[in-house]
Structure 1
Amino acid sequence: MMLWHGESHSTISWSVKCLCFSSAAGRLVFEDFLRTEYSEENILFWLACEDYRKTTSQTEVMTAAKRIYAEFVQVDAPRQINIDCVTREEISQNLTQPWPNCFDRAQRLIYGLMGNDCYPRFLKSEIYQALLEQAEQLRKEREAKSSADASPND
């Protein structure tokens, strides 16, 4: 995967902590990595929860909550996330009157799972290592261009 222009600094900072979530490019690369591990449901759930929290219409909240539950939370869901039965049951009970943060506990659990389990493997992956190499190459090219631009013309 190629870096987007201006992403080299961000790419390197992803290794400091789970900053890829604040970068669209980072989320895409991390999602690609999770797909290779057959665990992309984690980031897809996390993103669905982020969108859900921004929903304002009560009708849309109800629809979105049911969709998230059916896709990620219920037992045998197509993209079932790995959460404890207490959290799963709590969400199930909240579906009758969903509120903006009814998925927060599950979202925190999944974020922790990604941060403590998937993300360290991502930082050691070939995908991430290739991005680091691209970022380093871009940095060297920029330094060379800056040096050439700063040199007096003969």
Structure 2
Amino acid sequence: MRLLNLKSGLFLRRRNSDSPLSARPQPEEAQKWSESFAALMASKYGSSLYRAFLLREFSNENLEFWLAVEDYKNSKPQKMAAKAQQIYNDFVAVQASKEVNLDSETRLLILTNVQSNSLDSHTFDRAQRRIQHMMERDSYLRFLQSKLFLELAFPERYSSSSDVSD
């Protein structure tokens, strides 16, 4: 059983079980993650590994925001107001605990929608697109260059007998 040490206290083990994240993905699956950010996020293992990578870099607030918006978009209408307020408080408000980098116009548009209760599944679309674009240009590319990803996608070239440390 091989451990992948992610320096953040998280460990992913290679073993056989019914849990979707318990077994390492096949290299072909990991290679698909490099096709697009959407392909990475569509994979439970890929999105979890990307999250672990971001945690290690102390830059996970963008992904947390992106995932919170995905959850919001799939919410029942009666739960949207509370979830929208929570997303605003956690990520959008100036000095929020997990504040993401948004322009003032986008922040104001979201605040106006949240305060007026004119909410729908598109309330955060503009902000989510901006954050996704930032991730695609920065942390996603770093993830694709990390030993963690390379050893999963190309084990014949990058695997070693020791734990992955990068």
With the shorter chain as reference, the TM-score category is 0.7 to 0.9
1:28 aligns to 2:48 (yes or no):
yes
| Matched residue, 1:50 | 70
Q: Please, what TM-score do these two structures have when normalized by structure 1? A: 0.80
Distance 2:62 2:131 in 1: 6
Q: Which has the higher contact order (CA 8 A, sep 6+)?
A: 1
Q: State percent identity of aligned pairs.
A: 35
How far apart, in 1, do the equivalents of 2:77 and 2:35 lie?
37
CA shift for structure 1 position 53 = 0.5
The one of 85, 89, 114 aligned to 1:66? 85
Q: Which moved more, 1:9-18 or 1:43-52?
A: 9-18
The one of 110, 117, 121 aligned to 1:100: 121
1:116 is aligned to: 137
Letter of the structure 2 residue corresponding to residue 35 of structure 1: L
Shift of 1:75: 0.6
| Contact 2:91 2:97 survives alignment (8 Å) | yes
AA in 2 matched with 1:81: V
The answer to whether the Cα contact below 8 Å between 2:27 and 2:154 also exists between their aligned partners in 1 is no
Unaligned 5+ runs, structure 2: 5-12, 15-22, 158-166
Which ranges in structure 1 are unaligned for 5 or more consecutive residues?
138-154
Match of 2:110 in 1: 91
> 40, 57, 69: which is aligned to 1:37?
57
Deviation at 1:6, TM superposition (A): 4.6
Give the 3 Å change call, closer, same or farther, for CA 28–105 of structure 1 in structure 2: same
Query: In structure 2, what is the Cα distance between the partners aligned to 1:35 and 1:85?
Result: 26
Distance in structure 1 (CA, Å) of the matches to 2:100 and 2:31: 29
- Distance, in Å, in 2 between the alignment partners of 1:26 and 1:6 is 9
The Cα shift of 1:30 comes to 0.6
Distance in 1 (CA, whole Å) between partners of 2:101 and 2:147 is 25
Q: Is the 8 A contact 2:25 2:152 kept in 1?
A: no
Counterpart CA distance in 2 for 1:120 and 1:65 is 29
Number of residues paired by the alignment?
135
Runs of 4+ aligned residues of structure 1 deviating over 4 Å after TM superposition are: none
Task: Give the aligned partner of residue 32 of structure 2.
Answer: 13
3-state SS, counterpart of residue 46 of structure 1:
helix
- Give the 3-state SS of the residue equivalent to 2:71 in structure 1: helix
Q: Matches of 1:129 and 1:108 in 2, distance apart?
A: 27
**What is the CA–CA distance in structure 1 between the aligned matches of 2:40 and 2:154, rounded to whole Å?**
17
Q: State the TM-score, normalizing by the size of structure 2.
A: 0.75
Deviation at 1:106, TM superposition (A): 0.3
**Superposed displacement of residue 133, structure 1:** 4.3
Of structures 1 and 2, the larger Rg is shown by 1
